[in-house]
Structure 1
Amino acid sequence: MTEHTQLIDAVNVRITTREYDPKPIDPDLARQLGSTLNALNTLSGLDMQLVLGKPDAFATDNASGHLANAANYLALVGPKDDQESLEKAGFYGERMVLAATLYGLGTGWVSGSWDRQAAERHCRITPSQSLYLVVTIGYPADQVGYGNQDFDKLCQRQSEHRTSKSYEELTSAMSAQDRQDAPEWFKAGVAAAAKAPSAMNGQPVLFAWDKDTGDAIATLDPSVSYRSAVDLGIAKMNFQIGAGGGTWTWGDGGRFIRS
């Protein structure tokens, strides 16, 4: 049996989890998550935090049935009023989500009615910082997580979970010929980005291949009503994993230099 332990495998099976098992995250696993978070905070300059056993942040959504037993979350904390840090929160937050997926946990980027004040009470936030967003995390209620189900079935479940924009839609700024001529790594990057979560599943990030420089470019689609630096960061992370190595510059219009 093939062992699927790579981030691209997590990209191919991750779905948004809304219903959680009420059992707490295993302490050893929580420590592993904490170690990964610490490493990503060092890389990013963010202050992402793992908050466990605090369901009051999701009391409304748990009561309405929009979520079930949501009690743990990744708090994406960083400098106030800083667009680049918001993008980094999406980028490194998605990296954390994919790590959690490999550990068999479910996650969900929460853009709706979470209780910000309650969530902030459980975080360390300095006067120069703000809590950008939270990501729910825990064991899926149906126990259909990575590591305890056939990989191909999990991939199939993802494809049935939601519709994604096509390669043509995500590269709509390119000519048909350039789309066809683009290298395989670019096409693989776009395919991975198509599986990235985004607010209201709007998928607001477009990709282009610059044939003169060989770089990829990511831009926020002006035709999508809700788009944010967080979505841009999330999509860039998935693209980078799919493309198999390289480095992004930050910002709308940022370039991916293939390594």
Structure 2
Amino acid sequence: MMNEAAILQKRHAIRKYSKEVIDQDTIRKLRQMIEACNKESGLHIRMYLQEPKAFQSFFTHFGRFSNVENYIALIGKPGEKLEENCGYYGEKIVCQAIALGLDTCWVAGSFQRKHIPIHDDEQLCCVIAIGYGKESGKPHKSKPIEELCVAETKMPSWFLDGMRCVQIAPTAMNKQQFQFTLHQDHCVSVKALSGKYSKIDLGIVKYHFEAGAGQAAWKWKD
């Protein structure tokens, strides 16, 4: 079985989907992953299947989406870490979806929120379209590693592996508005630089870094 970094290499944003129904075994495994992420994070992530209303409008077609009938809604109680957690656990679910043969796309604005019911004490951050794509997609342009990080010491192989995986992470408008720092004593930190969805991006790139760096002797710096 491929590791997470290898699986994420296969991820491309897909906006056009076929009408093929997702098979029950894939749905079961995705539900298991969502339940595990909710239990670990305290989020209320939910999956919607064969429900096209959120993507049936001129606005979503203008965003070049078609046949989006299956998606994962990233929902949780408002708080300082909500968006970052949605990014981190959302990308964890994306990794599982790709491993199961599905295509995906992060969607922050091009959908109708009114068709996704939430409780009064919840907030809907964004959704992830899932399904079988009509297109194969292509890699997005990425900044070089030296523009995405700074280092207080020589970059070890695990850090470079982590940053290579970060390079392919999806971010809002592909702007990659974040900066990693390699500190002394194998500590790593990352901060968002700007942007409307920067906190969601922060969670996504953290997951990518962990997937690339693996279980090497490093830790996040508080």
Instruction: Give the TM-score, by structure 1 length.
Output: 0.79
Task: Confirm whether residue 128 of structure 1 aligns to residue 121 of structure 2.
Answer: yes
State the aligned residue count.
221
Task: Confirm whether residue 182 of structure 1 aligns to residue 155 of structure 2.
Answer: yes
Question: Matches of 1:225 and 1:62 in 2, distance apart?
Answer: 22
Equivalent in 144, 147, 169 of residue 169 of structure 1: 147
Residue 28 of structure 2 corresponds to which residue in structure 1? 31
Residue 153 of structure 1 corresponds to which residue in structure 2? none
CA-to-aligned-CA distance 1:33-71 (integer Å, 9 cap, x gap): 101111111111111111011111011255446111111
Q: SS of the counterpart of 2:186?
A: coil
Question: Matches of 1:192 and 1:63 in 2, distance apart?
Answer: 31
Residue 67 of structure 1 corresponds to which residue in structure 2? 65
Question: Matches of 1:183 and 1:228 in 2, distance apart?
Answer: 27
Residue 5 of structure 2 corresponds to which residue in structure 1? 8
Q: Contact between 1:204 and 1:227, CA under 8 Å: does it hold in 2?
A: no
Question: Matches of 2:119 and 2:163 in 1, distance apart?
Answer: 37
Cα offset, 1:111, TM superposition: 1.8
Larger relative contact order (C-alpha < 8 A, sep ≥ 6)? Answer: 2
Q: Contact between 1:240 and 1:246, CA under 8 Å: does it hold in 2?
A: no
Equivalent runs, 1:87-126 vs 2, <5 Å = 87-120=84-117, 125-126=118-119
Residue 237 of structure 1 corresponds to which residue in structure 2? 207
Question: Matches of 1:85 and 1:246 in 2, distance apart?
Answer: 27
Q: Contact between 2:51 and 2:69, CA under 8 Å: does it hold in 1?
A: yes
Equivalent runs, 1:208-219 vs 2, <5 Å = 208-211=181-184, 213-219=185-191
Change (3 A) 1:79 1:65: closer
Question: Matches of 1:141 and 1:214 in 2, distance apart?
Answer: 43
Question: Matches of 2:128 and 2:49 in 1, distance apart?
Answer: 12
CA-to-aligned-CA distance 1:144-199 (integer Å, 9 cap, x gap): 5xxxxxxxxxxxx75xx32111111101x446xx3xx1111111111111111011
Residue 164 of structure 2 corresponds to which residue in structure 1? 191
Change (3 A) 1:65 1:168: closer
Question: Matches of 2:196 and 2:216 in 1, distance apart?
Answer: 28
Query: Percent identity, aligned pairs only?
Result: 33
Change (3 A) 1:185 1:246: closer
Q: Contact between 1:55 and 1:70, CA under 8 Å: does it hold in 2?
A: yes
Cα offset, 1:226, TM superposition: 3.8
Task: Confirm whether residue 19 of structure 1 aligns to residue 12 of structure 2.
Answer: no
Task: Confirm whether residue 78 of structure 1 aligns to residue 48 of structure 2.
Answer: no
Change (3 A) 1:206 1:65: closer
Question: Matches of 2:197 and 2:67 in 1, distance apart?
Answer: 29
Q: Contact between 2:187 and 2:218, CA under 8 Å: does it hold in 1?
A: no
Contiguous gaps of at least 5 residues in structure 1: 145-156
Q: SS of the counterpart of 1:114?
A: coil
Aligned partner of 2:156: which letter? P
Residue 154 of structure 1 corresponds to which residue in structure 2? none
Aligned partner of 2:147: which letter? E
Q: Contact between 1:87 and 1:232, CA under 8 Å: does it hold in 2?
A: yes
Aligned partner of 1:31: which letter? R
Question: Matches of 1:95 and 1:70 in 2, distance apart?
Answer: 20
